[in-house]
A and B are shown apart, each in its own frame.
Chain A
Amino acid sequence: MKDILQQLEDRRDEARLGGGQRRIDAQHAKGKLTARERVELLLDEGSFEEFDMFMAHRCTEFGMQADRPAGDGVVTGWGTVNGRMVYVFSQDFTVFGGSLSETHAQKICKIMDMAVQNGAPVIGINDSGGARIQEGVASLAGYAEVFQRNIMASGVVPQISLIMGPCAGGAVYSPAMTDFIFMVKDTSYMFVTGPDVVKTVTNEIVTAEELGGAGTHTKKSSVADGAYENDVEALAETRRLIDFLPLSNRDRAPVRPFFDDVARLEESLDTLIPDNPNQPYDMKELIGKIADEGDFFEIQKNFAANIITGFIRIEGQTVGVVANQPMVLAGCLDIDSSRKAARFVRFCDAFEIPILTLVDVPGFLPGTGQEYGGVIKHGAKLLFAFGEATVPKVTVITRKAYGGAYDVMSSKHLRGDFNYAWPTAEIAVMGAKGAVEILYRSELADREKIASRTADYEDRFANPFVAAEKGFIDEVIQPRSTRKRVARAFASLRSKKQTNPWKKHDNIPL
């Protein structure tokens, strides 16, 4: 009897070694952790429950039947993050280079199905050379099975991808359909076709890092939502992100004890808006001063920085923040910022996370670059996303809210629940100078007259009161009391219920 029990332990020990000590050492030498070490750091200590530890591939081509390691290159199971359940798969680069076989895919599919059924997030740790070539089309089928599950799980449970090694070819499309992608600097890359193929086809010479490293995807392509220095940091920060997210669309955003004053007044916000309307200021200061404990988890920090997206907590509960950033491109909307914010808003709406929108927007960025790039359709994405969202929506206009961009930024007309403005707000069809040039075209030659017309326009329209008179602004609030007012607004919306008309799905301008 003892022998049989011991046999299990022996088999487990063997499975835990994956591709063997030599390959583990090689993995470490590259500055990477092993698949199991990553799972260990991601989950609460001792909480991991593994599935399919002994599953092996069924391939018999190319002499593969001689080498059937337990687990087949991926570690799957569930565990807890600060006591909340999550499902995880972690590709093992030490086993066949982490390549995806039919059984490897089946293991991933199994935990994804369970995650959807039981309502818990899926975290995928990617470190794989790609398809298992020996298996041919069976491997491709495996990818597609995973893709289909990514699609079905989208909007049901949060899906997070960590890219901690290579992720190339068809493999990229699974992370691409998850909610968030995080990469590790210097040791991960993602691309559809690698540098060799690029060189053959286009004669472009490019390194893997330049083509698909963390820098490329967080700054240029926006494929990734963030990048970290190393595996340990990436996993610690993923735990932090999970603390912000609901477990599924059947749950509410999590709440945890907070050590901050709900009614905290910030007198310094009274001077946040500079005297000169063309001088920028840092919107992140306002976010930090509204948030519990100043804690902000930013999403896509290095891409389209003219809009800020991320999570904060108010009264311990997660709130998604969308804010124009006057420090970058004057905070205007453009193709990139619209796409970035639209995706974020839809994530929040899908998972019942209330949305706080902070507005200082001079309008849409003009130019052929924008028009040729389709700013009309991309801008419409953000408009669409705000308009369809049924979660609690609180908006604060700090300064400019001009033109169509005013409408887009979670305005009253898009079913904003609370639309506040600071006394410094200017809600108008456009800035005074531009408006006067159109309204008084015949007087343009007379500088003095134009100056006085501009001053008149500013007096009349460069304030929040015209909008407040019409009920488009619910209340003009003191900057210092923003946290308190916003917190009370969200508190009052705790049991908000709003539904959109039945439809198969909408047709957002993609």
Chain B
Amino acid sequence: MFKKILIANRGEIACRVIKSARKMGIATVAVYSDADRNALHVKMADEAVHIGPAPANQSYIVIDRIMEAVRQTGAEAVHPGYGFLSENRKFAAALEAEGVVFIGPPSGAIEAMGDKITSKKIAQEAGVSTVPGYMGIIEDAEDAVKISQQVGYPVMIKASAGGGGKGMRIAWNDAEAREGFQSSKNEAAASFGDDRIFIEKFVTQPRHIEIQVLADTHGNTVYLHERECSIQRRNQKVIEEAPSPFLDAETRRAMGEQACALARAVGYASAGTVEFIVDGARNFYFLEMNTRLQVEHPVTELITGIDIVEQMIRVAAGKPLPFKQLDLKINGWAMESRLYAEDPYRGFLPSIGRLTRYRPPVEGETIGGGIVRNDTGVYEGGEISMYYDPMIAKLCTWAPTRDAAIEEMRLALDTFEVEGIGHNLPFVGAVMDHPRFVSGDISTAFIAEEYPDGFLGATLVPVLTRRIAAATAAMNRVAEIRRTRISGTLGNHERLVGDDWVVTLQGSEYTTRIDADREGSTVGFADGGALRVTSDWVPGQPLARLMVDGVPLVLKVGKIPSGFRIRARGADLKVHVRTPRQAELAKLMPEKLPPDTSRFLLCPMPGLIVNIAVNEGQEVQEGQALATVEAMKMENILRAERKGVVKKVSAKAGSSLKVDDIIMEFE
């Protein structure tokens, strides 16, 4: 076995690899850029080597820098993580040339699976089900129409070198095929400098389901079952689970065996993932093979009990896999939520900055008998920088059933405290409560279909708001009693805290009466019902863990005048708790609408105004560029949402603005 390995990556995956290496008694070397000097992976590793400036193209993906670090530390092997150099054939070759082991597949396999057309051909030859389509190069638009007719509409027209939705069109008829071919070709030429196009069947109700494979250098290849990764936002996976709620044993076995066949066909050794697209009738088609460790591998580890990183290292050291296909059973259900530093209330714009508070849920076994696992590369007081992937953590839960795993995830998300930056915790929290997600009836279009106008915060069901009302009524009583214990009160004339409280939240009003005793409070409602609330919460604690009628409830608690800001289950609520008289008077207060900002161009993110493209008094058309804001080294052009006349320009080039600062006003 190796004595020392280097991890050519950063963030949570570097930390993840270090953990397995440490468990195996292998020393670890981290590499870091200027921006990662204080990063968690650097603290965790036994040694760390600085490899250059913050931008990845000057540090993490510069092969020479990594090679230099390898030489300097004498690492015997390198784990590339995912992204960066993980699927770079030249990197694998460079390591090989110096006799350093690449903890990943042979470079031939990387190359074979690296190109969409080649990989599909190999897959077909290996007997893997592929999407019906035309593999050759398409000459012109008429050729494209003919092929589309053969494949059968709807078809997908795709750039061979494509990715991220670029150079991709869906056509439902001849005219669309003709037009789509031309625009895909143009886009492909512009984006990738490679205008080769292919056409394939467009799969409806598509699900993204992938098979984890493991192969060693002794001819053993196994599959670790599937992961369902259909919950995606613009091709970025957000929630993954294993197993899939959709597959039956037969389909699972067929997909697994085909994935292994493909791995064998390319002489695969290490961990890899074969991605399939599965339609509503459980027809599955090969998409691509990722020749690396996948971000979402923890869910597979949780249902199989296998440490995939450990196996990758062992395979790289020439060891055989210690299990056979028959040993690999599915145990329970695992969910993964990817926590991104993306503000869901602002169209998921990346949010950078300091984590003023970062308290993940406690890992390990839960009181409900489940498991919580959190793979992270950050810490409280650390910085989310503009240079890298905005992922904060991968929060996983395991439980015997899917429903229980979801419930564990809800609690874990509610317990997860992240402050200082915008993040998608509320969004994944909302998805976990979404009836369609809970039913398992999902597709890759889930987010686009269910949140067509973006995410505005979750609306909680009445059962839940009532529980929160009971909880906050009880909490408020504790806070009010503390207030009366202040020094300097008028003896014998102290304030007595009453039992009647009116709670308003999310547009509902609950009239409650609290009957408190030593252990907790029974909160009675006007309709005669009551909820029993117990908790060890004391004023000032940002997290309240409660039991409401025997069911756990976790709330993030902030203070607002006469009440609390409560965050839970993807909702961000203003909860007012008032005496009946206060509530009566509060009703007299006018509803204040948030100021109408449609007449203003507001700065969507903290940044620097590069230029203002219009003048006061100028008429602008919908879509016209108004100003450019530089944020995170990116120039963002702000455009007019509708036709109008510029009344006043408040910002000028060079000014540095905060979120929602006014840039200009329209008439």
Render A191-219 as a binary contact track against B, CB cut-off 8 A, 1 for contact: 00000000000000000000000000000
- CB pair B495–A47 under 8 Å, yes or no, is yes
Render A19-43 as a binary contact track against B, CB cut-off 8 A, 1 for contact: 0000000001001010001001100
Contact residues in B for A84 (Cβ distance below 8 Å): 486, 488-490
A477 at the interface (CB under 8 A from B): no
B484 at the interface (CB under 8 A from A): yes
Q: Which of A228, A232, A246, A256 meets B586, CB within 8 Å?
A: A232
A256 to B481 CA separation, bound complex (whole angstroms):
11
Q: Which of B355, B381, B483, B592 meets A82, CB within 8 Å?
A: B483
Q: Which of B379, B420, B489 meets A83, CB within 8 Å?
A: B489
Contact residues in A for B37 (Cβ distance below 8 Å): 275
Contact residues in A for B356 (Cβ distance below 8 Å): 268, 282, 285
What are 24 of the A-B contact pairs (CB < 8 Å)? A28-B588, A31-B589, A40-B581, A45-B581, A80-B490, A82-B483, A82-B489, A82-B495, A83-B484, A83-B493, A85-B490, A185-B592, A230-B590, A232-B561, A232-B586, A232-B589, A240-B561, A243-B486, A256-B485, A259-B538, A270-B381, A275-B37, A282-B354, A294-B540
B245 at the interface (CB under 8 A from A): no
- CB pair A247–B381 under 8 Å, yes or no, is no
Render A62-87 as a binary contact track against B, CB cut-off 8 A, 1 for contact: 00000000000000000010111100
- CB pair A82–B486 under 8 Å, yes or no, is yes
- Which residue, B381, B488, B540, B561, has most C-beta atoms of chain A within 10 A? B488
- CB pair A254–B561 under 8 Å, yes or no, is no
Q: Which DSSP category, helix, strand, loop or mixed, fits chain B's interface?
A: loop
Q: Which of B483, B489, B589 meets A231, CB within 8 Å?
A: B589
B587's closest neighbor in chain A, by CB?
A: A232
Given A37-B585, A232-B586, A281-B354: A293 and B540 interface contact (C-beta under 8 Å): yes
Give 5 closest A-B pairs by Cβ, nearest first. Answer: A293-B540, A268-B381, A83-B489, A259-B538, A31-B590
A256 to B479 CA separation, bound complex (whole angstroms):
12
Query: Closest Cβ of chain A: how far from B392's Cβ, in Å?
Result: 15
Query: Closest Cβ of chain A: how far from B177's Cβ, in Å?
Result: 53
- Which residue, B381, B382, B493, has most C-beta atoms of chain A within 10 A? B381
Q: A185-B592, A271-B38 are in contact. List 19 more A-B contacts (CB 8 A).
A: A31-B589, A41-B582, A44-B495, A80-B493, A82-B483, A83-B484, A83-B495, A84-B490, A186-B592, A229-B592, A230-B590, A232-B586, A232-B589, A254-B488, A257-B485, A259-B538, A282-B356, A285-B356, A293-B541
A228's closest neighbor in chain B, by CB?
A: B561
B562 at the interface (CB under 8 A from A): yes
B487 at the interface (CB under 8 A from A): yes
Given A83-B489, A271-B38, A293-B540: A232 and B562 interface contact (C-beta under 8 Å): yes
B248 at the interface (CB under 8 A from A): no
- Give residues in B with beta carbon < 8 Å to A: 37-38, 354-358, 379-383, 420, 482-490, 493-495, 498, 538-542, 559, 561-562, 579, 581-582, 585-586, 588-590, 592
Given A259-B540, A293-B539: A251 and B488 interface contact (C-beta under 8 Å): yes
A252 to B490 CA separation, bound complex (whole angstroms):
15
Contact residues in A for B498 (Cβ distance below 8 Å): 45
Q: Which of A80, A260, A295 meets B489, CB within 8 Å?
A: A80
A26 to B484 CA separation, bound complex (whole angstroms):
35
A443 at the interface (CB under 8 A from B): no
Contact residues in A for B484 (Cβ distance below 8 Å): 82-83
A171 to B380 CA separation, bound complex (whole angstroms):
51
- CB pair A256–B483 under 8 Å, yes or no, is yes
- CB pair A33–B540 under 8 Å, yes or no, is no
A475 at the interface (CB under 8 A from B): no
Given A259-B539, A294-B540: A83 and B494 interface contact (C-beta under 8 Å): yes
Interface residues of A in 214-247 (CB under 8 A from B): 228-233, 236-237, 240, 243, 246-247
Contact residues in A for B486 (Cβ distance below 8 Å): 82-84, 243, 254-256
Contact residues in A for B380 (Cβ distance below 8 Å): 267-268
Contact residues in B for A246 (Cβ distance below 8 Å): 488
A352 at the interface (CB under 8 A from B): no
- Which residue, A44, A185, A232, A258, has most C-beta atoms of chain B within 10 A? A232
Q: Which of A82, A236, A254, A295 meets B540, CB within 8 Å?
A: A295
Q: Which of B357, B383, B562 meets A236, CB within 8 Å?
A: B562
Contact residues in B for A334 (Cβ distance below 8 Å): none
- CB pair A269–B381 under 8 Å, yes or no, is yes
A47 to B379 CA separation, bound complex (whole angstroms):
49
A47 to B492 CA separation, bound complex (whole angstroms):
12
Render A265-287 as a binary contact track against B, CB cut-off 8 A, 1 for contact: 00111111001000001100100
- CB pair A45–B489 under 8 Å, yes or no, is no
Contact residues in A for B559 (Cβ distance below 8 Å): 295
B590's closest neighbor in chain A, by CB?
A: A31
- CB pair A254–B487 under 8 Å, yes or no, is yes
Contact residues in A for B541 (Cβ distance below 8 Å): 259, 293
Query: Closest Cβ of chain B: how far from A278's Cβ, in Å?
Result: 13
Contact residues in B for A83 (Cβ distance below 8 Å): 484, 486, 489-490, 493-495
A229 to B428 CA separation, bound complex (whole angstroms):
32
- Which residue, B37, B356, B383, B561, has most C-beta atoms of chain A within 10 A? B561
A292 at the interface (CB under 8 A from B): yes
Query: Closest Cβ of chain B: how far from A48's Cβ, in Å?
Result: 12
A294's closest neighbor in chain B, by CB?
A: B540
Query: Closest Cβ of chain B: how far from A156's Cβ, in Å?
Result: 16
Contact residues in B for A240 (Cβ distance below 8 Å): 561
B489's closest neighbor in chain A, by CB?
A: A83
Contact residues in A for B586 (Cβ distance below 8 Å): 232
- CB pair B561–A233 under 8 Å, yes or no, is yes
B356's closest neighbor in chain A, by CB?
A: A285
Query: Closest Cβ of chain B: how far from A302's Cβ, in Å?
Result: 14
Contact residues in B for A282 (Cβ distance below 8 Å): 354, 356
- Which residue, A28, A45, A246, A272, has most C-beta atoms of chain B within 10 A? A45
A239's closest neighbor in chain B, by CB?
A: B483
Query: Closest Cβ of chain B: how far from A43's Cβ, in Å?
Result: 9
A86 to B193 CA separation, bound complex (whole angstroms):
77
A231 to B420 CA separation, bound complex (whole angstroms):
31
